[in-house]
Amino acid sequence: MTNDPQAPGLPGLTGLTFAKGHGTGNDFVIIADPDGLLDMPAGHVAALCDRHRGIGADGLIRAVRSEALAEGRALLAGEPEAQWFMDYRNSDGSVSEMCGNGVRVFVEFLLSRKLISLSIGQTLTIATRGGAKIVLRTAGGYAVDMGPWSFIQPGQADARGMDSLVTAGGLDVARPGISISMGNPHTVVALAHVDELAAADLTKAPLVDPLPKNGTNVELAVPADPLVVDGVGVIAMRVHERGVGETLSCGTGACAAAVATRFWAGATAPDVWRVSVPGGDLGVRFLPGADGTEHVELSGPAVIVATGTIS
Ligand SMILES: N[C@@H](CCC[C@H](N)C(=O)O)C(=O)O
């Protein structure tokens, strides 16, 4: 296919059926490719995600049986239940390890296509580049065991974990950032007030120095005052996503913001958090994992809004 922005339609993709879905406004084009037959070069993904000449989305998700691609087969060896692989791409066509909103929408898509059956209260293991994720279907959506979190640049962190300086549009000076992996990279910056959050201009990627080696998603987070309401920690957040731009929500970003804020708050901080993003609210919980590490659980809705065929 050509990347000529004037080219009519989406050459090479004719006849492909897709669904459009979102989780708290983070939206995706989802394609079923059980046997892994589709070639999806970056240009095709970017064309589909183009909001003016394509379908429009923050990212593209391809549903492939794990056994049909090498990354899936590698994971199946240790995680035989992870039969479906979430092949996640950002809207610029780049690959990401993980998408927290995407994995909920992925399961909702599999259900809508009757590729799986899953009752409320049951779990399904999904293969991702960031490892196997256990997804619980709840009455209001899904709760996902995202696995353990970790610091990305511990070697250069100060006592508060700050490892970088972040310069974002609309903010007067560079702010310290803390870089956290949720499978994919995040750099979280604490702001003092929601007015500052509103003033930030995320149309351009904030500069992060030093930048984690695989780039980063940047979250601007405002801890509520008081921080804890009825035992739940509360954060307001905006995000600039690697490979996308500003989005209405980022699930892994919400987890990273909760990890950072809880770390700064110290020993008395709660294990349950609500992260408010422009597209809605996400729940984050810390709990012991079966592997002995601390795991992060992300909960929120998932909606399929349309299905279609590329003409
Ligand atoms: N919106 C996603 C994260 C998508 C990937 C991200 N842009 C990256 O490159 O790591 C989420 O909900 O987690």
pLDDT tens-digit profile of 230-267?
Answer: 999 999 999 999 999 999 999 999 999 999 999 999 99
| Mean pLDDT value of segment 101-111 | 98
Has residue 195 got a pLDDT over 50?
yes
Ligand 1 pocket member 96 (CB < 6 A): yes
| Mean pLDDT value of segment 182-194 | 97
257: phi > 0 → left, psi -120 to 50 → alpha, else beta; which? alpha
Ligand 1 pocket member 180 (CB < 6 A): no
ipTM score over 0.95, yes or no: yes
By annotation, the residues acting in catalysis are: 99, 250
Residue nearest to ligand 1 atom 2, measured at CA? 99
Percent of the chain with pLDDT over 90: 93
Ligand 1 pocket member 250 (CB < 6 A): yes
Task: For residue 133, give the H/E element and its range.
Answer: strand 131-138
- What ligand 1 atom has the least distance to the C-alpha of 97? 10
pLDDT of 9 reads 58
pLDDT of 2 reads 39
Tokens 């992260």 belong to 275
Mean pLDDT over each residue of the chain, to the nearest integer: 95
Has residue 145 got a pLDDT over 60?
yes
Ligand 1 pocket member 130 (CB < 6 A): no
The predicted model scores a pTM of: 0.96
pLDDT of 208 reads 98
Say how many Å lie between the CA of residue 255 and the centre of ligand 1.
11
- Written as one string, the DSSP assignment of 200-264 is -B-SSPPEEESPPTT--EEEEEEEEEEEEETTEEEEEEEEEETTTEEES--HHHHHHHHHHHHHH
pLDDT of 14 reads 87
Amino acid identity at 176? P
> Is the CB of residue 263 less than 8 Å from the CB of residue 161?
yes
Both tokens of 135, joined, read: 């997804």
Domains and CATH numbers, the chain: 17-147+301-309 (3.10.310.10), 150-286 (3.10.310.10)
- What ligand 1 atom has the least distance to the C-alpha of 215? 9
Return phi, psi of residue 200, to 5°: -65, 140
Can you tell me the distance from the alpha carbon of 145 to that of 28, in angstroms, rounded to the nearest whole number?
21
pLDDT of 13 reads 81
